Amino acid sequence: STKDYSISNEVRQKFPGISFAYTIIKGVKIKKLETELEKLKKLTVESKKSVTLAEVSEITSIRNYRTMLKTTGVDTGSRRPSPEALMRRIIQGKNLYNINTAVDAYNLAVLETNIGLGGFDLAKVSQPVVLRFSRSGEEMHLLGDEEKTKTKDGELVYADTDKLLTLDLNYRDIDATKITEKTKDVILFADGGPDISPDDVVSALKKGASYIQKFCGGQVGEIILVQ
């Protein structure tokens, strides 16, 4: 059952106060583009353009994600927390990605809340999901990569019962569970951290889910916080 989602003891010991939240949005209809969503993306991007790189690195959630990733041995100069990577794109004068109406919708919420979100095709996920440390040499085929990635020991990953789903919290996702225009049910995650309040995690998740519902329809299920 979905209630069996968890955070491993090792992760909780290393990062006391860490949390994540998730929800399932059933019966979505996903398209490549939606005019209203494009308008909203433009407005949000415009509102963020004046932010400086220095200000981005001072945002509480981003600082928290960076500290966590550094603790796991990640070079955060090249592997940045997803909200930071999105903000940097905007500051560099680029737009939000155009993937599809579900992914674009939750990326909008990431930009507005600075909380990392990750969405997957529920049909491709073998529940339940756990946030844990990787073991050395676990393999994952990350979205957009030709070659498989082998994990080092102790990287932060979300995993289902038979595979790794992400690397560095929700920074990188695997190809197999990606949301496409054929996806019917979406599972959406929000990343917490030791100094990120669970309320902020839950409200970012709600925002991401409500944007998906607004632009793709569907029914948003229970919002579940895991600590």
CA distance 188 to 210: 11
Residues 6+ apart with CB under 8 A from 126: 160, 161, 162, 163
Residues 30, 225 contacting (CB under 8 angstroms): no
CA distance 114 to 150: 28
Stretches in the chain below the pLDDT threshold 50:
1
Residues 176, 199 contacting (CB under 8 angstroms): no
**Crossing angle for the helix pair 82-91 and 60-71, nearest 10 degrees?**
120
| Domain count of the fold of the chain | 1
Residue 44: per-residue pLDDT: 94
Residues 224, 4 contacting (CB under 8 angstroms): no
User: What range defines the domain where residue 178 resides?
Assistant: 2-226
Residue 2: per-residue pLDDT: 55
Residues 80, 178 contacting (CB under 8 angstroms): no
Q: Within its chain, how far is the Cα of 171 from the centroid?
A: 6
Task: Give the domain CATH number at 58.
Answer: 3.50.40.10
pTM equals: 0.96
Note the residue count of the chain: 227
Work out the number of other CB atoms within 10 angstroms of the CB of residue 103: 23
